[in-house]
């Protein structure tokens, strides 16, 4: 297959569902993709880069963090997107796929219909709902901008793009069911959950962070305030009471203010000396911490927007054979129940604490959970398996 992929992801792609699934796995299968995307790094001129078996048309990107620089980057992205229209009109594609673009997604839909090219849409997150929720937040910096973006995206997505697409990929069955209530046919949508690369599965016995010693608990990921990770700090107060030698590692965090907030909570509870904040780390170094940990945490604060997500860290932990303590969430609950790779608890500090204590005090049981979780990921959540599923959807739904 050869297709055109217009995505909101930047070059070089970071998200594993883009980088591994399309740039790696689809290349192995001999498919060719022409990409149109913005640049993650400052770039004076647009250019063409090699990506997988195809080419990436990468737009220019202004440097700087001023309002003027940010506005310039937005204009550069919009202007560069029109490159996709020129490529589509040139022809030669089996289909065009648009990911997480709304106004321009509608333009590409129209172009696809005019050129009689099958149109595929990939929705990775309920952006319209997230922007509208942001507009209602008392801490929103520009609520009117979020309100406008949310309503525009909702109109374009649910009234124009999705009902007229030939195939729609969504992140989870929960997202499919939610979108179906907006009038989009459920049988048009194919859920594709997050997975892991073969390299991650093969790296289970890779380097381990030497500073992580048993008994240890780990959280990897964003620490923004809306995730309510103070609940994990509060849970760890009880963990230390039962297992005094335990250490909690927070790996990641983009904003120092978010880290400082959690550190202040640790000081208040008297556990600051038992909690380590690593700050942002390269991906390989972060996974070295995961390999060394005894128990890993996947807390997702209950939220209608996050309820339709497909958590990446859950399956990454499981790929490295780590037992997981996760809270109730549609996909987390399903994966843990199907795999036996962890424990599901309600969102409450005392429930997180009791599950962690149980696993730390029974390492054999924890290791067995880790083994089961890894086996499940190998069978169901490697991107080699997911690529086969996606490829099959293209062929059957688009008659390729």
| Pair 242, 176 in one domain | no
| Pair 362, 232 in one domain | yes
Given a cut of 80, is residue 129 above it in pLDDT? yes
Mean of all residue pLDDT scores within the chain: 96
| Pair 90, 136 in one domain | yes
Given a cut of 90, is residue 139 above it in pLDDT? no
| Pair 113, 258 in one domain | no
| Pair 330, 260 in one domain | yes
| Pair 347, 238 in one domain | yes
Give the model's confidence band at 225: pLDDT under 50 very low, under 70 low, under 90 confident, else very high: confident
Q: Residue 1's pLDDT is what?
A: 96
- Name the domain count of the chain: 2
Q: What whole-number percentage of the chain has pLDDT above 90?
A: 93
Q: Residue 148's pLDDT is what?
A: 95
Mean pLDDT for the stretch of residues 28-35? 96
Q: What whole-number percentage of the chain has pLDDT above 70?
A: 100
Cα separations in angstroms, 109 against 122, 235, 376:
13, 49, 37
| Pair 50, 64 in one domain | yes
Q: pLDDT by residue (tens digit) across 185-201?
A: 999 999 999 999 999 99
Mean pLDDT for the stretch of residues 280-298? 96
Mean pLDDT for the stretch of residues 350-367? 98
Given a cut of 90, is residue 11 above it in pLDDT? yes
Q: pLDDT by residue (tens digit) across 106-122?
A: 999 999 999 999 999 99
| Pair 36, 141 in one domain | yes
| Pair 154, 211 in one domain | no
> Which of 56, 67, 63, 66 lies closest to 33 in space, CA to CA?
56
| Pair 256, 213 in one domain | yes
Given a cut of 80, is residue 257 above it in pLDDT? yes
CATH of the domain at 103: 3.40.50.2000
Q: Which residue range forms the structural domain that includes residue 36?
A: 2-195+383-398
Mean pLDDT for the stretch of residues 124-129? 95
Give kind and range of the element (H or E) at residue 249: strand 247-251
Q: Residue 138's pLDDT is what?
A: 78
Given a cut of 80, is residue 213 above it in pLDDT? yes
Mean pLDDT for the stretch of residues 256-266? 96
Given a cut of 90, is residue 308 above it in pLDDT? yes
| Pair 125, 154 in one domain | yes
| Pair 220, 79 in one domain | no
Given a cut of 90, is residue 266 above it in pLDDT? yes
Q: Residue 140's pLDDT is what?
A: 75
Q: pLDDT by residue (tens digit) across 74-100?
A: 999 999 999 999 999 998 999 999 999
Mean pLDDT for the stretch of residues 371-377? 98
């Amino acid at each position: 297959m050869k297709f055109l992929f217009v995505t909101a992801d930047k070059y070089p792609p970071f998200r594993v569902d883009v980088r591994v699934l399309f740039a790696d796995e689809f290349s192995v299968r001999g498919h060719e993709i022409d990409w149109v995307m913005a640049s993650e790094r400052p770039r004076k001129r647009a250019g063409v880069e090699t990506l997988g078996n195809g080419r990436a048309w990468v737009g220019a990107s202004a440097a700087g963090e001023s309002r003027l620089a940010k506005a310039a980057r937005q204009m550069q992205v919009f202007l560069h997107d029109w490159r996709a229209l020129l490529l589509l009109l040139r022809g030669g594609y089996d289909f065009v796929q648009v990911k997480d673009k709304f106004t321009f997604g509608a333009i590409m839909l129209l172009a696809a219909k005019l050129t009689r090219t099958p149109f595929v849409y990939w929705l990775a997150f309920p952006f319209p709902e997230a922007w509208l929720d942001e507009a209602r937040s008392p801490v929103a910096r520009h609520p009117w901008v979020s309100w406008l973006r949310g309503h525009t995206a909702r109109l374009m997505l649910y009234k124009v793009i999705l009902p007229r697409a030939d195939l729609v990929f969504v992140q989870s069955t929960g997202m499919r069911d939610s979108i179906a209530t907006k009038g989009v046919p459920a049988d048009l949508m194919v859920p594709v959950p997050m997975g892991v690369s073969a390299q991650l599965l093969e790296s289970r016995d890779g380097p381990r962070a030497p500073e992580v010693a048993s008994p240890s608990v780990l959280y990897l990921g964003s620490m923004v305030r809306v995730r309510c990770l103070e609940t994990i700090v509060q849970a760890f107060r009880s963990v230390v009471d039962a297992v005094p030698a335990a250490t909690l590692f927070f790996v990641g965090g983009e904003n120092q203010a978010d880290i400082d907030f959690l550190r202040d909570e640790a000081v208040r509870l008297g556990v600051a000396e038992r909690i380590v904040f690593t700050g942002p780390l390269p991906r390989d170094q972060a996974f070295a911490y995961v390999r060394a940990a005894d128990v890993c945490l996947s807390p997702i604060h209950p939220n209608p927007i996050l309820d339709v997500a497909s958590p990446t860290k859950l399956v990454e932990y499981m790929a490295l054979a780590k037992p997981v303590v996760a809270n109730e969430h549609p996909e987390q609950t399903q994966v843990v129940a199907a795999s036996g790779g962890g424990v599901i608890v309600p969102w409450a500090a005392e429930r997180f604490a009791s599950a962690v204590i149980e696993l730390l005090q029974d390492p054999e049981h924890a290791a067995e959970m880790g083994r089961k979780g890894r086996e499940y990921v190998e069978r169901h959540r490697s991107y080699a398996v997911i690529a086969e599923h996606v490829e099959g959807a293209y062929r059957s739904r688009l008659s390729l």
